[in-house]
A and B are shown apart, each in its own frame.
Chain A
Amino acid sequence: MNTFITAAGVALIGLMLLVLIRAIKGPTVIDRLVAINVIGTKSIVLLLFAGILFGQLEMFVDIALGYGLLNYIVSIAASRYYQHRKSLEPEHSPGGSPVS
């Protein structure tokens, strides 16, 4: 079982690396936000995997629960941000946005 969990964890980290490509490339901020949100959800799973591998799942499940509760605050903050600031442009064409 431990080998399977380890393999699954390594596969998850590998796929997270691929998701990170979207966070690096992503032409707009929102694309990055989507990628980071996916990575955050997968951290919950990896925390549980770490708990299984340590053989002390009851110690790790609280952290995962905290993550599950808090994970979506940043998305909501970003949504509030873009309600009032319409400044979504690909980074390579600065356009008319206030540059600082």
Chain B
Amino acid sequence: MEKLITNFNYVIVVILMMIGLWAMLAQKNLIKKCIGMPIFQTGIILFFISIGAKNKAKVPILSKFVVENSSAIIVNDYANPLTQILMLTAIVVGVATLGVGLALAQKIYQQHSSFDEDEILENQRK
């Protein structure tokens, strides 16, 4: 129970991933599926960012003062940059893949004039 409070971020991560996965599997509407995909994705991004966050740390940008006086850099003053760059690219790639999903949905709508999975399947059987 105590872990539930200190590791609160992971709980949110898991719940976000569950919501996204549920939306992608259970929602019949293609647009809703396309919205569920980024929710799942932000769950994973939140996992990475929150695992790299440090208590009482600043943003990972060296200040002019530290650099010019060549004073020792204290590692724990800066948040983890590595997890951040892994996720930074993932966001832009995510919006590009969202575009691919929407393009597919739009093409399917042109064929079947519906976003609904059941109707599309019915149309195909005819």
Contact = CB atoms under 8 A, between A and B. Distances in A.
- Note whether A and B contact each other (Cβ less than 8 A): yes
Interface of A: 54-56, 59, 100
A54 B109 CA distance: 48
A71 B59 CA distance: 24
A56 B65 CA distance: 13
A55 B116 CA distance: 50
By secondary structure, the A interface counts as loop
9 contacts: A54-B58, A55-B58, A56-B58, A56-B59, A59-B61, A100-B29, A100-B113, A100-B114, A100-B115
Size bracket of the B interface: 10 to 19
Interface string B75-110: 000000000000000000000000000000000010
Give the interface SS of chain B, mostly helix, strand, loop or mixed: mixed
Contacts of B119: 100
Contacts of A56: 58-59, 61
A56 B113 CA distance: 52
Contacts of A55: 58
Nearest to B61: A59
A100 B115 CA distance: 6
A56 B60 CA distance: 11
B44 to A, nearest CB: 22
Given A55-B58, A100-B119, 13 more contacts: A54-B58, A54-B59, A56-B58, A56-B59, A56-B61, A59-B59, A59-B61, A100-B29, A100-B109, A100-B113, A100-B114, A100-B115, A100-B116
A54 B79 CA distance: 12
A25 B114 CA distance: 26
10 smallest beta-carbon distances between A and B, as pairs: A100-B114, A100-B115, A59-B59, A56-B59, A100-B116, A59-B61, A56-B58, A54-B58, A54-B59, A100-B113
Most chain B CB within a 10 A radius of its CB, from A54, A56, A100: A100
Contacts of B116: 100
B115 to A, nearest CB: 5
